[in-house]
Amino acid sequence: MTLRQNSLVLYKNRPARITQMGPKKIEITLSDGDQLSVRPKDVLLLHVGPLTDWHTLRRESPDAEVETAWELLAGTTTTLAELSDLAYGEFTPQTAWLLWQMVADGLYFSGEPEAVLVHTPNAVADEKANRAAKAAEEAAWLAFLDRVESETYDPEADDRFLREVEDLALGRRSDSRVLRTLGHGQTAENAHKLLLSVGYWDEMVNPYPARLEVAQSVPDQPLPPLPEEERQDLTHLVALAIDDADSRDPDDALSWDNGRLWVHIADVAALVEPDSLVDWVARARGASLYLPEGTIPMLPPAATQQLGLGLAEVSPALSFALDLATDGTITAVDVMASWVRVTRLSYEEAENRLHESPLRELHHLARQHEARRQANGSIVIDLPEVKVRLRQGKVVIRPLPPLRSRALVREAMLLTGEAVGRFASQHQIPIPYTSQTSTATPAEIALGHEGSSYAHMFALRRTMTASQQQTTPGTHAGLGMDLYVQATSPLRRYLDLVVHQQLRSHLRGHRLLDAVELTERIGSVDAINGDLRQAERLSNAHWTLVYLQQQGKWQGEGIVVDKRGARDVVLIPDLDWETHIYSPRDLPLDSLVRVALNGVDLPNLEAHFRYV
């Protein structure tokens, strides 16, 4: 068929009438009255006409036998004209338009005006089923959106929609159809908020370890038995493992023997050799993950069971013997595999026994070493600390008192770090050293040593940079030490384990890791440790906010430690929490204030307080 004036054509899926034929273009009028000049190839001829007005297409449909025509022609190909003759007994612009809408619909027919494919009964049945399913899905989607707007959800019907929101909240995907439809920003915080609002999540869901992609499963790789080797018998020494009462992985113990400090460390490297399967898994984890709801260990639990000091009558250890001058400085270092008999004490128990030997001598040594570090420019930042724990659905926040027993253990571990660094340098053993820089002035440092205010401590903390591990020795400004190595927690920190692996290889005459291999291990740990510490920090913040929600109308004491325009930065010691509070008054720094909780925004990790 040829285009002519008053023919019915299709233009961009809309009916049009040709009003004028030209040599290169034709003039058409759309059903809404718009007039266009288009190329002939831009239109599709439905009927040659004549179509004189649009009322022709809008008249009541003539009687038809469309379904009968479909049944007769099913599985064949026909034309729009032939189909119209069979279904309507005539072929007019109106019947052409009616049938073309059915072709465009695609249920019974498809194709072009000159080649209409008539679908088989099976194809029609399948398409009807698909359409019914789509209609049901759309109805379910709309019903789901209505429930979300009402802040409810149906677990059976809505879980499949909310799982994508959960994936966004947990960092597993970057977008959500649900949030997009509701007009919310595609953020993990908005996803978290929605899940809380409908009750899919409650406050007991901590999303941060998953969001930061840190390992949350307990490693289960098999460990070899303890190798048969000569060990020094040190079971005659009183060895004390001092830690928190709820500690489950004791990995250090202290002994005192007439001027010699013994530091016994769990001999993890005896079971975990470099590049073994367990070593690779530990390297990928970087460190144990300590969360209020529990600990995810770096090593399989069997490592602690076999090596934890004091968990058996006699424990294998890597022992460091530090010969000390009368002023507490190190004069000689020896390292050996050993057997030790360990007694476990809590910090509180040790605090009450500091007058007894060997705790008395150890405490004196700790005070000497701390004074020596301060004389060397160590930076004292004495801010409140708390421990946040989840116990049977309740959050417990316990302030950590500044016990002398804690300082005792800290200084002994720092002495060990210096001793290991000296031993490694003396024997040319490549190990990761720890260093740190600070921009604090001597006056600021001296003020900290004098037990200055919280506001000064808060400001002093900002002068510190993160510590770094490297293959060469460096000064640790914060500790006031010219040489420092982290070596006392091989059950919990991978680079401590690497130090032990190097020391044991040296003692046994085995090949040492070179600087390149050591740098690769440091880089692997650096890549994950930031996320580990962030997961711990954000998890502590999450559970602190849950604690405030559980307390209801919480009130407590705060200390003004800084100013931010019209807002005070207030430290709440009992929570180890910093908040900004608008103040119409000009309160001086270190003012003691009473604050009350206004509300908690759990998804955004915000707590809002006011002055009482």
Task: Write the DSSP string, 324-389.
Answer: E-TTS-EEEEEEEEEEE-EEEEEHHHHHTTTTSTTHHHHHHHHHHHHHHHHHTT--------EEEE
The CATH classification of domain 1-43, taken from the options 1.10.490, 2.30.30, 2.60.120, 3.40.50: 2.30.30
Which residues of the chain does CATH 2.40.50.140 include? 552-611
Quote the pLDDT of residue 466: 85
C-alpha to C-alpha distances, 241 to 358, 369, 404, 438, 484, nearest whole angstrom: 12, 20, 15, 33, 22
Residue with tokens 């650096």: 526
Mean pLDDT, each 10-residue run in order, the chain (612 residues): 90 93 92 92 93 81 84 95 93 93 95 96 96 96 96 94 97 96 96 97 97 95 94 97 90 95 98 97 96 96 95 97 93 97 96 96 96 90 92 94 94 97 96 89 66 82 87 93 96 98 96 96 95 97 97 94 93 96 90 96 97 94
Residue with tokens 């004069």: 331
**189 by DSSP, 3-state: which?**
helix
Quote the pLDDT of residue 58: 76
Which structure tokens are listed for 208?
């941060």
- 552-611: what fold? OB fold (Dihydrolipoamide Acetyltransferase, E2P) (2.40.50)
DSSP-assigned letters across all residues of 374-434: HHTT--------EEEEEETTEEEEEE----HHHHHHHHHHHHHHHHHHHHHHHTT----EE
Which structure tokens are listed for 457?
């401590």
Quote the pLDDT of residue 459: 86
Give CA–CA dist 457/609, Å, rounded: 22
Quote the pLDDT of residue 53: 83
Task: Please say whether the beta carbons of 302 and 223 come within 8 A.
Answer: yes
Task: Please say whether the beta carbons of 571 and 458 come within 8 A.
Answer: yes
The CATH classification of domain 123-201, taken from the options 1.10.10.10, 3.40.50.720, 3.30.565.10, 3.40.50.300: 1.10.10.10
Which residues of the chain does CATH 2.30.30 include? 1-43
Task: Please say whether the beta carbons of 574 and 397 come within 8 A.
Answer: yes
Which structure tokens are listed for 308?
């934890």
Residue with tokens 């109106």: 94
Which residues of the chain does CATH 1.10.10.10 include? 123-201
Quote the pLDDT of residue 451: 60
